[in-house]
């Protein structure tokens, strides 16, 4: 539509320009022609004579029409040429004014087009901005929903851990009460007589029972168990980027695996953020726990990326346990292993708890009595901030 209107205005402007220049040329010709009669011997000047003849040819119909309708001769002077010149001058002025009006119209058409284009560009920008705002709002809503989901999962896990710890403590207290009520273990029961089995057959069965029990006892070994768990692992991940948290816990696991290998761990069983490790000696178990706690200082300063520092609880216990290289750590079940886990649950952050019976006869620097009992066992503790004497003074 803009181009169509502009083409019409330009065409009309061209017509007006032609008419204006024609009127101006006619005025100039008639003025020159009015002076030619005063030129002596006009026929000698071919060009002037042609101008005069052209002017007469063009002027004659107009002057005849005017003379026929208006009295234009006054005092012997014919005014019709001057009237025609005046009319042509008026026509020239009108054409000049119309050209200016058409030029302003063209300018206004271009300005309207520029305004329309600017409005369209502004509308596109506003629409794009609205779309970006909508995308940002949707992304924020999605992030808020994901954070709410993670928060709910973290709270649920924290509640589950709290309930599990409460159950473990209740079970430990029950076991302590049970052991206090019956501290002396009962002798192994003798297999009852089987119906229809007498004399020599019964003796064979007793012999088989004794040999089996002896074989099982021979498979038992003096072993030590180290239980490690990350303090408040669920709370550490709250509000953190899930990928960064996963990366840091992977790096922590690698640190633990290096400590296990350096201290000759026999086998290990992992939970999401904890581990139970089997060692051949108490010294290896204690050294592994101390190396891990000391290594966390560098790990927290140089390796991890989340805000919270990694802190661990460590529990150690030792005793004779049935051991088979082909049996996984997860499948091993013994009260000595359970006590190591209970020691860990009662320990403070970056602290080692170990039973007095496990540390007895072993030279362990830095341990002191914790004035606690776990599963009926006196507890010794180790902290990384000094020797037993310094810790006792601090206490």
DSSP secondary structure string for all residues of 28-58: HHHHHHHHGGGSTTGGG-HHHHHHHHHHHHH
Contacts of 335 (CB under 8 A, 6+ apart): 319
Q: What's the pLDDT tens digit per position in 258-274?
A: 999 999 999 999 988 89
**Among candidate residues 311, 301, 253, 260, the one with its CA nearest the CA of residue 284:** 260
Query: What is the CB neighbour count within 10 angstroms for residue 57?
Result: 9
Could you tell me if residue 161 is inside a domain? no
Same domain, 226 and 123: no
Cα–Cα distance between 369 and 377 in angstroms, integer?
12
Whether residue 255 is predicted with pLDDT greater than 70 in this model: the reply is: yes
Higher local confidence (pLDDT), 165 or 339? 339
Query: What is the CB neighbour count within 10 angstroms for residue 257?
Result: 14
Q: Using pLDDT thresholds of 50, 70 and 90, give the confidence band for residue 394.
A: very low
Q: Give the pLDDT mean for 299-315.
A: 95
Q: What angle do CA 228, 231, 232 make, to 5 degrees?
A: 140
Cα–Cα distance between 260 and 253 in angstroms, integer?
10
Could you tell me if residue 163 is inside a domain? no
Could you tell me if residue 95 is inside a domain? yes
Contacts of 92 (CB under 8 A, 6+ apart): 20, 23, 24, 27
Q: Which long-range contacts (CB under 8 A, 24 or more apart) does 76-81 make?
A: 81/30, 81/33, 81/34
Can you give the residue range of the structural domain that contains 285? Answer: 219-394
Could you tell me if residue 59 is inside a domain? yes
Please give the mean pLDDT across all residues of the chain. Answer: 82
Helix (H, G, I), strand (E, B) or coil at 222: strand
What is the CA 119 to chain-centroid distance, rounded?
36
Alpha helices in the chain (DSSP H): 2-35, 46-69, 80-181, 200-218, 233-237, 242-262, 282-298, 335-346, 356-359, 388-394
DSSP 184: S
Q: What's the pLDDT tens digit per position in 67-110?
A: 667 776 676 666 767 777 788 889 888 988 988 898 998 888 88
Whether residue 226 is predicted with pLDDT greater than 90 in this model: the reply is: yes
The domain total for the chain is 2
Domain final position from 68, 93, 127: 127
Domain with 382 in it: what CATH number?
3.30.70.1230
Same domain, 358 and 229: yes
Higher local confidence (pLDDT), 44 or 383? 383
Could you tell me if residue 195 is inside a domain? no
Cα–Cα distances (Å) from 321 to 9, 60, 148, 217, 389, in that order, read: 107, 141, 46, 9, 34
Same domain, 229 and 109: no
Could you tell me if residue 113 is inside a domain? yes
Q: Give the pLDDT mean for 169-183.
A: 70
Same domain, 12 and 116: yes
Least confident of 79-93, 111-125, 221-235, 260-274: 79-93
Domain final position from 77, 108, 127: 127
Could you tell me if residue 381 is inside a domain? yes
Domain final position from 109, 127, 145: 127
* DSSP per-residue string spanning 320-368: EEE--TTS-GGG---HHHHHHHHHHHHSPTTEEEEEHHHHTTS--TTEE
Cα–Cα distances (Å) from 123 to 2, 62, 116, 119, 132, in that order, read: 20, 60, 10, 6, 14
Same domain, 112 and 238: no
Cα–Cα distance between 238 and 73 in angstroms, integer?
112
Q: In the prediction, which pLDDT does 279 show?
A: 94
Same domain, 256 and 361: yes
**Among candidate residues 344, 338, 122, 129, the one with its CA nearest the CA of residue 231:** 344
Q: Give the pLDDT mean for 317-342.
A: 89
Same domain, 356 and 235: yes
Contact between 350 and 330 (Cβ < 8 Å): no
Q: In the prediction, which pLDDT does 206 show?
A: 67
Could you tell me if residue 209 is inside a domain? no
Whether residue 344 is predicted with pLDDT greater than 80 in this model: the reply is: yes
Contacts of 351 (CB under 8 A, 6+ apart): 313, 314, 381, 382, 383
**Among candidate residues 280, 281, 277, the one with its CA nearest the CA of residue 259:** 277
Q: Give the pLDDT mean for 5-28.
A: 85
Structure tokens belonging to residue 67 = 């003379």
Cα–Cα distance between 359 and 381 in angstroms, integer?
10
pTM of the complete model beyond 0.85: no
Cα–Cα distance between 92 and 272 in angstroms, integer?
99
């Amino acid at each position: 539509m803009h181009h169509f209107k502009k083409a019409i205005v330009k065409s009309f402007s061209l017509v007006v320009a032609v008419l204006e220049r024609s009127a101006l040329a006619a005025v100039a010709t008639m003025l020159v022609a009015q002076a030619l009669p005063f030129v002596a011997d006009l026929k000698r000047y071919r060009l002037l004579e042609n101008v005069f003849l052209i002017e007469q040819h063009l002027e004659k119909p107009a002057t005849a029409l005017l003379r026929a309708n208006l009295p234009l001769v006054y005092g012997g002077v014919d005014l019709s040429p001057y009237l025609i010149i005046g009319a042509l001058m008026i026509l020239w002025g009108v054409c000049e004014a119309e050209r200016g009006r058409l030029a302003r119209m063209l300018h206004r058409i271009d300005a309207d087009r520029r305004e329309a284009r600017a409005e369209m560009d502004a509308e596109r920008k506003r629409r794009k901005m609205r779309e970006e705002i909508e995308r940002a709002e949707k992304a924020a809503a999605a992030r808020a929903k994901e954070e709410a989901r993670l928060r709910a999962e973290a709270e649920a896990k924290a509640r589950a851990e709290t309930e599990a710890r409460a159950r473990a403590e209740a079970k430990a207290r029950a076991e302590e009460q049970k052991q206090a009520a019956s501290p002396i273990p009962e002798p192994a029961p003798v297999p009852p007589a089987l119906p229809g089995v007498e004399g020599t057959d019964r003796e064979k069965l007793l012999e088989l029972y004794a040999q089996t029990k002896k074989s099982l006892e021979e498979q038992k070994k003096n072993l030590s168990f180290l239980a490690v768990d990350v303090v408040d692992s669920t709370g550490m991940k709250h509000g953190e980027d899930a990928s960064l948290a996963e990366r840091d816990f992977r790096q922590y696991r690698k640190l633990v695996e290096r400590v296990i290998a350096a201290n000759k761990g026999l086998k290990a069983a992992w939970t999401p953020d904890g581990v139970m490790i089997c060692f051949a000696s108490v010294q290896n178990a204690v050294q592994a726990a101390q190396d891990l706690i000391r290594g966390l200082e560098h790990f927290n300063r140089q390796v991890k990326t989340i805000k919270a520092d990694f802190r661990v609880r460590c529990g150690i216990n030792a005793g004779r346990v049935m051991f088979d290289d082909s049996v996984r750590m997860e499948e091993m079940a013994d009260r000595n292993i359970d006590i190591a886990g209970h020691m860990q649950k009662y320990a403070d952050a970056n602290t080692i708890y170990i039973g007095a019976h496990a540390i007895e006869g072993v030279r362990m620097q830095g341990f002191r009595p914790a004035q606690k009992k776990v599963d009926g066992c006196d507890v010794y503790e180790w902290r990384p901030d000094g020797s037993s004497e310094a810790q006792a003074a601090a206490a």
